[in-house]
Amino acid sequence: MLELEGVNAFYDQSHILHDIGFSMEEGGRVAILGRNGAGKTTLLKSIMNAGPRVQGGIRFKSRALANASPDERARLGLAFVPEDRRVFGHLTSYENLKIAQYGASPEREKVPIDDLIGRFPMLVPLRNRPGSQMSGGQQQMLAVARGIAARPHIMLLDEPTEGLAPVIVAELAHEVAACCRDYGIGLLLAEQSIWFSRQCTERVLVIDTGRIVFSGSWQDFDENAERVQRHLAI
């Protein structure tokens, strides 16, 4: 479904990612763990062609993405939920979700908006509220729901728990896992929260200074806890 081989990424002359390689099967859910500055966000943006200069191979559904623009990648079935949410403040929740559906892959049925709002209890009373009048937690729920609206093959979710209260983090973990399962959406999650990542994913990659230093199941992660933790400790 998604394959990276020898991927290097640069901002101007700064070399951020070094020979990144991994693959995801359809419906797979993978966490990318790492400290601030490790390269997690750059990896997601590299897959979407959303900023860094990228060298190496990125293939999605057996198609090389080297010359594909971000909107082409979205229509192929990749959805990016950025760390800063990018909610349209002048549009309501419903309108934010409706716009997201225009990026749907032709072969995938969109998620009905009323069904999607119903999956996120926090959004139910906010259906007609502008994004600019929502709290950070409400905006984060809306941003994730917007990523799901087009029923992508894979959702790239960047640091969704940052700055959120624990009760909202728990609710978000439940809804992300349930929506990915019920709508057949793969997940590539960049996070620092090990707890949240465990709730949403099956496999884990650890990235440190732009290099993958661990890859395996959560059981493998636990069995190598001492080795892995030195790449995550602040």
Structure confidence by residue, pLDDT tens digits, 138-178: 999 999 999 999 999 999 999 999 888 999 999 999 999 99
User: For position 163, what pLDDT does the model report?
Assistant: 85
Question: Does the structure show a pLDDT above 80 at 190?
Answer: yes
User: For position 185, what pLDDT does the model report?
Assistant: 96
Percentage of the chain beyond pLDDT 90 is 82
E strand or H helix at 174: helix 166-183
Within a domain: 32: yes
Domain of 105 in residue numbering reads as: 2-229
State how far the alpha carbon of 58 is from the alpha carbons of 7, 42, 62, 68, 104, in Å.
7, 14, 9, 10, 21
d(CA 43, CA 147): 18
Range of lowest pLDDT (11-15, 42-46, 166-170, 226-230):
226-230
Question: Does the structure show a pLDDT above 80 at 19?
Answer: yes
Within a domain: 69: yes
d(CA 202, CA 13): 35
E strands, 38-193, where?
53-60, 63-64, 78-81, 154-158, 186-191
The better pLDDT of the pair 182, 233 is held by 182
Q: What is the CATH number of the domain that holds 26?
A: 3.40.50.300
**Domain count along the chain:** 1
Burial class (CB in 10 A: 0-12, 13-18, 19+), 166: exposed
Residues 81-124: tens digit of each pLDDT: 998 888 998 999 999 999 998 877 778 888 999 999 999 989 99
User: For position 234, what pLDDT does the model report?
Assistant: 64
Angle at 187 between CA 121 and CA 197, to 5 degrees: 75
Mean pLDDT of 182-187: 96
Question: Does the structure show a pLDDT above 90 at 206?
Answer: yes
Residues 51-72: tens digit of each pLDDT: 999 999 999 998 999 989 999 9
Within a domain: 131: yes
Within a domain: 42: yes
Within a domain: 98: yes
Looking at every residue in the chain, the average pLDDT score rounds to: 93
Mean pLDDT of 35-49: 95
The better pLDDT of the pair 191, 109 is held by 191
User: For position 227, what pLDDT does the model report?
Assistant: 87
Mean pLDDT of 217-229: 92
Within a domain: 234: no
pTM of the entire predicted model: 0.94
Percentage of the chain beyond pLDDT 70 is 100
User: For position 181, what pLDDT does the model report?
Assistant: 95
